């Protein structure tokens, strides 16, 4: 019996299993430069189906790669060794909103913004907010320990996961936690699974902490003469005891792109830091004043968003800035490489300087933006993808950016994961800890069927 026939016995709905060439091709890519063709794509609807599929795959030694919305930037959902892709996006229910216990239970295919829409009537929200919030799934966010602009205050995904239902490589279903908000009972398997990129199991349900929506938000726009000055201002603000709810850098290249894309946007000139504070009316007013005071000695301008609408428009533009260069230079495309480095906060000015140096040296323009408040810098490199020499330069720039971040005691992936695109840096970043990860991988996935080829987990 063929794999397809076996899967159709489990799924019993031809519309949820596909081997059509175009479908397979669409699932051979995500938003990274990594490619790998699956043999079959399945859209499960229940934990039971996922468990049966994994049992089948385990016995037949077939690779299984879980996928959410395929918005990943490191090839995490790309099936490098073929096999089965589990498109989890059909499992998208909000199972329970339990406000009394400050938590909700959801299926992994639920889109992040849809989750927050469901929480809004309760006056609560789920804070991790990647730029892809409108389409990325909760499962994908957990698998990559995703974060976003407001994680400087609220923390990353791992701070919100209380319990995961996970299907292991052999089809066994486990729960990693419980409803309690804290627990000291044994190994923290929830944290182990969070960020494991589908290499240890397939998440089929998640119990997540939720947080009350703030009553007030204020946006302070500060501009500086250089990106390095801007970075130094961030360090001063944070060390003065203020915890903004967002702290984003938009360097002058990025500002120019944004302004040209949308002439209505009210943005200052220069290298800009957007500080957001949230809380009560009184607390945000006070904190906004304090931020302005700390920035005054070096800023060339300081202003406050004048309305809720202006604030929303600024954030909406920020979220979509990554690919916007193509609007101005249609022959250029953003290519996501070297885009997610992070360094200790104090070393932000150094990484900014280093990235500019690499950009100038290689001759590729770079937009620098990101969640600078938690040390995370997104570098947008753009090239004419039809020109091979530019692609070579791009890869060289990405490599040098990764190495620069590691040299500063940082990470090659702050919130986008390792996948395949950054697997070659795992040893350098983790040293012998990589061997521990490999041992864990072997223990949980002894025959290596779960998302193979990622995170450099296979033995050399």
Which positions from 214 through 253 interact with another protein, judged by CB under 8 A? none
Cα four-point dihedral sign 300, 304, 310, 312: positive
Pick between residue 303 and residue 333 the one whose CB is nearest to another protein. Answer: 333
Residue 239: exposure state from Cβ atoms within 10 A (0-12, 13-18, ≥19):
exposed
Of 34, 47, 54, 87, which one interacts with another protein (CB under 8 A)? 87
Of 216, 239, 260, 326, which one interacts with another protein (CB under 8 A)? 326
| Nearest distance from C-beta of residue 348 to another protein, angstroms | 25
Which positions from 331 through 370 interact with another protein, judged by CB under 8 A? 331, 333-336
Of 6, 7, 11, 31, which one interacts with another protein (CB under 8 A)? 31
Rg (CA), the chain: 22
Q: Give the range of 82-90, 165-173, 208-216, 425-433 binding another protein by CB under 8 A.
A: 82-90
User: Hey, what are 409's tokens?
Assistant: 């005691």
| Nearest distance from C-beta of residue 56 to another protein, angstroms | 22
Q: Give the range of 27-35, 199-207, 302-310, 388-396 binding another protein by CB under 8 A.
A: 27-35
| Nearest distance from C-beta of residue 319 to another protein, angstroms | 9
364: CB partners within 8 A, 6+ apart: 381, 382, 383, 390, 393, 394, 397
User: Hey, what are 10's tokens?
Assistant: 């489990």
Distances, alpha carbon 51 to alpha carbons 70, 171, 179, in Å: 22, 4, 23
Q: Does 49 bind another protein (CB under 8 A)?
A: no
Of 22, 184, 307, 388, which one interacts with another protein (CB under 8 A)? 22
H-helix or E-strand spanning residue 102: none
**Dist CA 323 CA 125 (whole Å):** 27
Q: Please give the distance of CA 460 from its chain centroid, rounded to a whole number.
A: 28
Q: Give the range of 51-59, 69-77, 224-232, 290-298 binding another protein by CB under 8 A.
A: 69-77
Sole residue written with tokens 């090659």: 412
Which positions from 133 through 162 interact with another protein, judged by CB under 8 A? 134-136
Which positions from 302 through 321 interact with another protein, judged by CB under 8 A? 320-321
Of 7, 53, 69, 230, which one interacts with another protein (CB under 8 A)? 69
Residue 365: exposure state from Cβ atoms within 10 A (0-12, 13-18, ≥19):
middle
**Dist CA 312 CA 296 (whole Å):** 25
Q: Give the range of 128-136, 194-202, 267-275, 419-427 binding another protein by CB under 8 A.
A: 128-136
| Nearest distance from C-beta of residue 334 to another protein, angstroms | 5
| Nearest distance from C-beta of residue 459 to another protein, angstroms | 32
**Dist CA 44 CA 66 (whole Å):** 11
**Dist CA 358 CA 151 (whole Å):** 28
Of 9, 13, 26, 433, which one interacts with another protein (CB under 8 A)? 26
Return residues touching another protein (CB under 8 A). Answer: 18, 20-23, 25-27, 29-31, 41, 43, 69-71, 87, 89-90, 111, 113, 132, 134-136, 261, 320-324, 326-327, 330-331, 333-336, 385-386
């Amino acid at each position: 019996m063929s794999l397809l026939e076996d899967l159709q016995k489990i799924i019993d709905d031809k519309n949820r299993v596909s081997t059509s060439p175009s479908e397979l091709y669409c699932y051979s890519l995500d938003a990274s430069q990594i490619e790998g063709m699956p043999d079959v794509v399945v859209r499960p609807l229940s934990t039971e189906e996922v468990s049966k599929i994994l049992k089948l795959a385990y016995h037949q030694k077939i690779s299984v790669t879980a996928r959410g919305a395929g918005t990943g930037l490191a090839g995490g959902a790309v099936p490098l060794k073929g096999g089965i892709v589990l498109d989890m996006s059909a499992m998208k229910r909000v199972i329970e909103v339990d406000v009394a216990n400050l938590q909700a239970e959801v299926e992994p295919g639920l889109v992040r913004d849809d989750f927050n829409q469901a929480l809004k009537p309760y006056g609560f929200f789920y804070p991790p907010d990647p730029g892809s919030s409108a389409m990325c799934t909760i499962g994908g966010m957990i698998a990559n320990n995703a974060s976003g602009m407001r994680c400087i205050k609220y923390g990353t995904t791992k701070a919100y996961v209380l319990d995961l239902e996970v299907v292991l490589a052999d089809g066994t279903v486990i729960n990693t936690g419980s409803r309690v908000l804290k627990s000291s009972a044994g190994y923290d398997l929830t944290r182990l699974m969070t960020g494991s990129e589908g290499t240890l199991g397939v998440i089929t349900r998640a119990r997540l902490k939720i947080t009350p929506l703030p009553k007030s938000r204020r946006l302070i726009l500060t501009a500086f003469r250089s990106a390095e000055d801007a970075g130094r201002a961030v360090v001063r603000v944070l060390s003065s005891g203020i915890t903004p709810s967002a702290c984003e850098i938009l360097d002058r290249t990025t500002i120019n792109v944004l302004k040209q894309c949308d002439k209505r946007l009210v943005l200052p000139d220069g290298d800009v830091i957007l500080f957001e504070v949230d809380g009560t009316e009184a607390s945000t007013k006070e904190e906004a004043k304090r931020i302005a005071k700390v920035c005054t000695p070096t800023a060339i301008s300081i202003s406050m968003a004048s309305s809720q609408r202006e604030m929303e428009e600024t954030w909406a533009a920020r979220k979509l800035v990554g690919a916007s260069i193509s609007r101005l230079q249609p022959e250029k495309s953003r290519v996501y490489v070297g885009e997610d480095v992070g360094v200790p906060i104090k070393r932000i000015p150094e990484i900014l300087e280093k990235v500019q140096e690499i950009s100038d040296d290689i001759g590729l323009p770079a937009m620098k933006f990101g969640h600078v408040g938690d040390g995370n810098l997104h570098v947008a490199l753009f090239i004419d993808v039809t020109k091979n020499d530019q692609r070579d330069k791009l890869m060289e720039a990405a490599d040098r950016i990764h190495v620069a971040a590691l040299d500063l005691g940082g990470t090659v992936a702050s919130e986008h994961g390792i996948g395949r695109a950054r697997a070659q840096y795992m040893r350098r970043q983790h040293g012998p800890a990589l061997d521990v990860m490999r041992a864990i991988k072997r223990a949980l996935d002894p025959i290596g069927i779960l998302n193979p080829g990622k995170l450099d987990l296979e033995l050399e």
